[in-house]
Amino acid sequence: MVISIWRYSHLVLAISSSIFLGIASITGIILAFEPIYHAIQPYKAEDMERISVAETLEMLDGKYLEVLELKVDSDNFVQASVIGQDGESSTIYINPLTAEKIGEPQEKKAIFRFATNLHRSLFLKSPGRFFVGLVSFLLLLIAITGIILVARRQGGLKRWFTRVNKDTSGQYYHVVLGRIFLVPVIIIAGTGVYLSLEKFGLLPEAEISHQTVLAPTTKGNSAVASGPSVLKQIRLKEVRTILFPFSDNEEDYYQLELKDREILVHQYKGTVISEVEYPLIMLASRLSLAWHTGRGSVLWSAVLLASCIAIVFFMISGFAMTLRRRKHTVRLKTEAADPGKCEYVVLVGSETGSTFNMAKVLQKALIALGKSVYLSELNDYENFDRVKHLIVLTATYGHGDAPSNAQKFVEKFQATTIANPMSFSVVGLGSLAYPNYCQFAIEVDQLLGKHPKLKQALPLYKINNQSFEAFKDWSDKWAKALGLQLRLKNPGSPASTKKTTEFVVVERTEVNPDDTFLLKLKPTSNLSFSSGDLIAIKPGGNEVDRFYSIAKTDDEILLSIKKHSNGYCSRYLSGLEQGQEISAWIKPNTEFHFPSKTPEVILISNGTGIAPFLGMINNGLGATKTHLFWGGRNETSLEIYKDYIHSARHRGQLSFVFEAYSQSGLEKHYVQDLVCREADLIAKSLENGGVIMICGSVAMQKEVVRVLETISKKRLNVPLSQFLNRGKIKMDCY
């Protein structure tokens, strides 16, 4: 319930301020260019830290009839208000070493004047300034609630910069960019509030009061030219403004506004008559103005520019996430069947709405079998009298918490009496990068398992990173347990939406006893790809792309394919002949490329999952020590890969090969058994910065990950998620 309050607060604040915040952000983007434009003008003085005030004043005295004021701005432009020898007054930029005129201050560009007025007051003067100040305050609250939401989502502040689970691109970059820009946004909002309070006189006034005592002296030469003078000690870098004496009377002084204090200097003796340090409130005002505008720093102006762009993105992506979440809820309410008449109930716990996609695929498959299905949120749980089968698909939020649409489930379930027996199955969706992987699903499964009227149809099934292949694996097992012929339709993207490339068949091996064959393709045009990328093939008449992991060998693509009796694509590929051409497109999979500058890599696969590794071990691994773990049915299963493995071992690019066979001899051995047996090698590799890559079936992945988790906890005393977050474990399973 707590997370819902923070989310709704975050949303309400964003909606209530959206128009004004949008205006402020867009004008902020424009205004971020102003200090950059100012800084690149050719008036910057060099060596300001070595030039004394006395040197510059002496040059000004000799060149102009009278000097009224000298200013040094945040970009080290030295500006003087002078009266020339012709009696004409002017304001100019000077070279502080020679007092030569090098330019004149330019009038503010029209676009910056327009953006400034709109940004500060919306052209509404005082009422507009009030609204802008209020929006700055709301932005500050939005940023604070954003910090709380990200911290809870990641499982605490300690995990602030751990890997973000990617549900959708908008959600992913909303969180990732939010973590980067939250501090600049807080600075923008905080300084905006401060400047607004200052404008309305709601802050203490900063007063400078000098206590002057006239020191008796006789008129003589200026302190600039004669004797010891504080003006010779002060560097021009320290100066903000110098007001010159109004007359020759010794009651008139040089008034120097420095970075941290203001001093009065006797115009003849050069001594300090009065010195007052600026109060904290004045320094805070200057700092707030500099931080809010970027004046004096091109780098900070660029940060402000990027932050304002990020704020616009946060608004768009945030609203899109809300609409996406709402869309699932609205559809459920408008399309929901009567739960009192349904045989199957599918309840979903989802924070972003992505889990509903899988639930709807399951619902459609059951309806295609003539089954009545009720699909809803876990919060909508009630007493389902006629239901025979309960399916729960739920994600976990943050530190093992329930998603917002599942927070009422436990309470409702415990308050409901179940009269008729029913089966249940729980599917947890999450990311192995989080230490509390599928924690809420575990709790739901345990809760349901304790009820005497509920019978578990299938043990808790966990799915990593929304893998549809894993979901299909669960559905096959669940359907078998219930005696159903369930066929899920993969909501993949059509190949017609991608630009395809022509590939010519270089070689195809015969299908071996395991129904596996190798297919070598060569692109007919220049094409960039790497081992670990995916090739998408869509045979004619088929609606969905089939993806295969690539091995790159001599600018050719090597695929390892298992022929399925009912597999349209695999049967099509198994019939290709040398010289034939097919159309396909390459999907980059950079997260599964062979790591560079890694001391040791362990490759783990079963069956056709060895394909990308065949390319990696034959593409020059340098000094990287590499081991291969592979599981298959029997010794003949490895025959079609042996040439590639022997070649790599002969060139010293493959240190060890560990093999496991499930149908050879009396005992069955699987690749996870090899991993368990070589626990010392695995632990030492991870400890020394090695990388583990896993490719193959989802079932194999689950077992290998389970063994790796045990090794990590027992041998290294850390959870496996620590290595996942550091990119030390890479997985591409199907």
pLDDT, tens digit, 9 for 90 and up, residues 631-683: 999 888 999 999 999 999 888 889 999 999 998 776 889 999 999 999 999 99
Could you tell me whether strands 344-349 and 373-377 are parallel, antiparallel, or unpaired per DSSP bridges?
parallel
Q: SS3 for 341?
A: helix
Closest CA to 405 of 312, 325, 323, 301: 325
Confidence of residue 223 (pLDDT cuts 50, 70, 90): low
Confidence of residue 226 (pLDDT cuts 50, 70, 90): low
Calculate mean pLDDT across residues 24-33.
Answer: 96
* Cα–Cα distance measured from residue 325 to residue 377, given in angstroms and rounded to the nearest whole number: 12
Span 433-469, pLDDT tens digits: 777 889 999 999 999 999 999 999 999 999 988 888 8
* Cα–Cα distance measured from residue 603 to residue 616, given in angstroms and rounded to the nearest whole number: 10
Calculate mean pLDDT across residues 197-224.
Answer: 74
Task: State the amino acid at position 596 in one-letter form.
Answer: S
What is the structure's pLDDT at 284? 94
Reply yes or no on whether the pLDDT at 495 is more than 50: no
Strand partners, 732: 695
Q: If you classify domain 594-733 with CATH, what class do you get? A: alpha beta
What is the structure's pLDDT at 461? 94
Phi, psi of 22 (to 5 degrees): -60, -45
What is the structure's pLDDT at 70? 97
Alpha-carbon 667 to chain mean position: 47
Q: What is the DSSP letter of 77?
A: B
Reply yes or no on whether the pLDDT at 548 is more than 70: yes
Confidence of residue 329 (pLDDT cuts 50, 70, 90): low
* Cα–Cα distance measured from residue 225 to residue 55, given in angstroms and rounded to the nearest whole number: 9
Phi, psi of 39 (to 5 degrees): -70, -25
What is the structure's pLDDT at 336? 56
Least-confidence region, from 81-90, 127-136, 207-216, 473-482: 207-216
Buried b (16+ CB within 10 A) or exposed e, 554-584: eebbbbbbebeeeeebbebbbeeeeeeebeb
What is the structure's pLDDT at 474? 93
Between residues 368 and 221, the one the model is more confident about: 368
Residue 215: is it exposed, middle or buried by C-beta count within 10 angstroms (0-12/13-18/19+)? exposed
Reply yes or no on whether the pLDDT at 334 is more than 50: no
What is the structure's pLDDT at 212? 66
Confidence of residue 209 (pLDDT cuts 50, 70, 90): confident
Residue 289 has, within 13 A of its CA and on its CB side, a CA count of 10
Closest CA to 76 of 230, 232, 238, 303: 238
* Cα–Cα distance measured from residue 277 to residue 283, given in angstroms and rounded to the nearest whole number: 10
- The CATH classification number of 495-591 equals 2.40.30.10
Span 162-187, pLDDT tens digits: 777 776 788 888 989 999 999 999 99
Calculate mean pLDDT across residues 579-600.
Answer: 92
Residue 344: is it exposed, middle or buried by C-beta count within 10 angstroms (0-12/13-18/19+)? buried
Phi, psi of 190 (to 5 degrees): -65, -45
Residue 358 and residue 471 in contact, taking contact as beta carbons nearer than 8 Å: yes
* Cα–Cα distance measured from residue 673 to residue 694, given in angstroms and rounded to the nearest whole number: 15
What is the structure's pLDDT at 8? 66
* Cα–Cα distance measured from residue 485 to residue 369, given in angstroms and rounded to the nearest whole number: 8
Residues 6+ apart with CB under 8 A from 415: none
Least-confidence region, from 210-219, 230-239, 669-678: 210-219
* Cα–Cα distance measured from residue 609 to residue 697, given in angstroms and rounded to the nearest whole number: 7
* Cα–Cα distance measured from residue 223 to residue 264, given in angstroms and rounded to the nearest whole number: 13
Domain boundaries, given as residue ranges, for the chain: 2-22+116-204+303-321, 42-105+208-278, 336-482, 495-591, 594-733
Residues 6+ apart with CB under 8 A from 584: 495, 500, 501, 503, 521, 535, 536, 537, 538
Reply yes or no on whether the pLDDT at 6 is more than 90: no
Radius of gyration of the CA atoms of the chain, in A: 36
What is the structure's pLDDT at 493? 47
The CB-based long-range contact list for 636-639 (8 Å cut-off, 24+ gap) reads 636/512, 636/513, 636/514, 637/512, 637/513, 637/514, 637/516, 637/607, 637/661, 639/512
Between residues 322 and 275, the one the model is more confident about: 275
Least-confidence region, from 53-67, 253-267, 610-624, 710-724: 610-624
Reply yes or no on whether the pLDDT at 621 is more than 70: no
The CB-based long-range contact list for 516-519 (8 Å cut-off, 24+ gap) reads 516/560, 516/561, 516/562, 516/563, 516/607, 516/608, 516/637, 516/640, 517/560, 517/561, 517/563, 517/574, 517/640, 518/558, 518/559, 518/560, 518/561, 518/640, 519/558, 519/559, 519/561, 519/573, 519/576
Q: Which helix (H) or strand (E) holds 194?
A: helix 169-199
Could you tell me whether strands 89-94 and 101-103 are parallel, antiparallel, or unpaired per DSSP bridges?
antiparallel
Tokens of 307: 């932050």
Closest CA to 350 of 407, 285, 424, 278: 407
Same topology between domain 336-482 and domain 495-591: no
Residue 446: is it exposed, middle or buried by C-beta count within 10 angstroms (0-12/13-18/19+)? exposed
Q: What is the DSSP letter of 106?
A: P
Residue 519 and residue 553 in contact, taking contact as beta carbons nearer than 8 Å: no
What is the residue whose two structure tokens read 């939250």?
182
Calculate mean pLDDT across residues 280-308.
Answer: 95
Could you tell me whether strands 625-632 and 656-661 are parallel, antiparallel, or unpaired per DSSP bridges?
parallel
Reply yes or no on whether the pLDDT at 227 is more than 70: no
Q: What mean pLDDT, rounded, does the chain reach? A: 89
* Cα–Cα distance measured from residue 394 to residue 399, given in angstroms and rounded to the nearest whole number: 15
Share of the chain above pLDDT 70, in %: 93
Reply yes or no on whether the pLDDT at 242 is more than 90: yes
Calculate mean pLDDT across residues 31-53.
Answer: 94
Confidence of residue 229 (pLDDT cuts 50, 70, 90): confident
Between residues 389 and 169, the one the model is more confident about: 389
What is the structure's pLDDT at 332? 55
What is the structure's pLDDT at 542? 61
Reply yes or no on whether the pLDDT at 622 is more than 70: no
Tokens of 644: 């590639």
Reply yes or no on whether the pLDDT at 210 is more than 50: yes
- In CATH, the architecture of 336-482 is 3-Layer(aba) Sandwich (3.40)
User: What length does the chain have?
Assistant: 734
Could you tell me whether strands 534-537 and 729-733 are parallel, antiparallel, or unpaired per DSSP bridges?
unpaired
What Å distances lie between residue 637 and 408, 516, 699, 732, CA to CA?
A: 51, 8, 19, 21
For residue 102, how many other CB atoms are within 10 A of its CB?
15
Tokens of 580: 């034939």
Reply yes or no on whether the pLDDT at 341 is more than 50: yes
Tokens of 438: 């599928």
Closest CA to 350 of 377, 323, 319: 377
